[in-house]
Amino acid sequence: MAEAKKLYIKTYGCQMNVYDSERMAEAMGGQGYVQTDSPDDADMILLNTCHIREKAAEKVYSELGRFKGLKAAKPDLKIGVAGCVAQAEGEEIVRRQPMVDMVVGPQSYHRLPALAEASGGGTKALDTDFPEEDKFAALKSRPKTARGPTAFLTVQEGCDKFCAFCVVPYTRGAEVSRPAAQVMTEARDLVERGVREITLLGQNVNAYHGHDGGLAGLIRDLAGIDGLDRIRFTTSHPNDMDDDLIAAHGEVEKLMPYLHLPVQAGSDRVLKAMNRKHTAESYVRLIERLRAARPDLLLSGDFIVGFPGETEEDFAATMALVEEVRYGQCYSFKYSARPGTPAAERATVPAAEADDRLQRLQALLNRQQREIQDAMVGQEVKVLFERAGRMPGQMTGKSEYLHAVHVTDPEIAKGDLRRVRIVESAPNSLAGELV
């Protein structure tokens, strides 16, 4: 029996890339590859890339440079670049790094086995098309191996919003939704393999239209799967948060009280320049409706500071919105130009000003996060335990609110969903005891 070939995948960026990497590994598993944690003994190296952050492409080229010695020592080693940098850079990757054998975009990775077969020996394989066929239908059924208690499940891809700072519409394409029946089949398969919590993924997940009832209809159907205890979804756009999805937060017990809903800025002038198509006021009113449906909802968001044209008055409006909304978790970034986007052509805010604003915003967000986390002490939550902790007998998992919680108790096993009383709040986690 031939020895299995080894596949090393490095994943950059968002949860959708994590999901994509899983599916690529499964596709190559059908070709006799098993995953390895080290590139040193790999027969194939795949970099599944993200193009959102500053200098994303240069980081990929730098990473590829580290593999030159491996390629020289093992000429049959195949190296591929997948994901959004592959989509954006295309043939430029092969030109700058001739050792790369394959370049495959995020909509074409179902063709990866054929690309791998066609590449090597100096032959390059490149596929950055937006194919007409459904890549999820083309992918083989997921293998029936055991899984951890949580899983990502992509239901929607692409974006039609064209925010002025974002490359997603260009690298992932237009909004596309998977058919509900296809999603339900994959969800049931995951649950059969031990998954108890599924996070539905999409670049603009609440624009999902593969179910007659939209994302809310899909969530209601998923809630009927025996053995699936928790449902989450990310990432959402305020303009697609419809009435039924708001109602679902109060009506579907399995839908967790955590929502990532980026606003990006608190100034209407900046929001218009970003082409966000909502106002600070409409966002705040939306949050009020969501919290009326689910009073304990923990809110997460994204903010960009130093967007071209942002003034100190604009930034003050962002700080005021944060004070009003109160976020339990948040991500904040200094604006970085993405080539090919409308904002990239505009005059930038001086770096020192942007840095100062980012520090002030992060200080406010960190204070809010810590206050909300500290208020959990004495409260009871349900924790889905996912892995062993740092101390003997300790297990770590996530609460309904996505807080990391650790408990030391020999009764706990991976995959348990247990009621826990919070006894201590640390900077990035909570400590609890079984109730």
* Bind-site residues for [4Fe-4S] cluster: 14, 50, 84, 159, 163, 166
Distance (Å) of CA 219 to CA 194, 256, 296, 435:
19, 11, 19, 29
What are the DSSP calls for 278-297, one per residue? Answer: --HHHHHHHHHHHHHH-TT-
Q: Do 196 and 150 form a contact (C-beta atoms < 8 A)? A: yes
Q: Amino acid identity, residue 83?
A: G
- 94: its two tokens: 């092969």
Structure token digits, residue 82: 């997948």
* Residue 85 contacts residue 102 (beta carbons within 8 Å): no
Q: Which residues touch 17 (CB under 8 Å, ≥6 apart)? A: 11, 48, 49, 50, 83
Radius of gyration of the CA atoms of the chain, in A: 22
Binding-site residues: 14, 50, 84, 159, 163, 166
Distances (CA, A) of 347 to 54, 73, 316, 335, 427: 16, 47, 20, 12, 37
Closest Cα partner for 197 from 412, 414, 411? Answer: 414
- CA separation for the pair 55, 97 (Å, rounded): 17
Bin 253: left if φ > 0, else alpha if -120 < ψ < 50, else beta: alpha
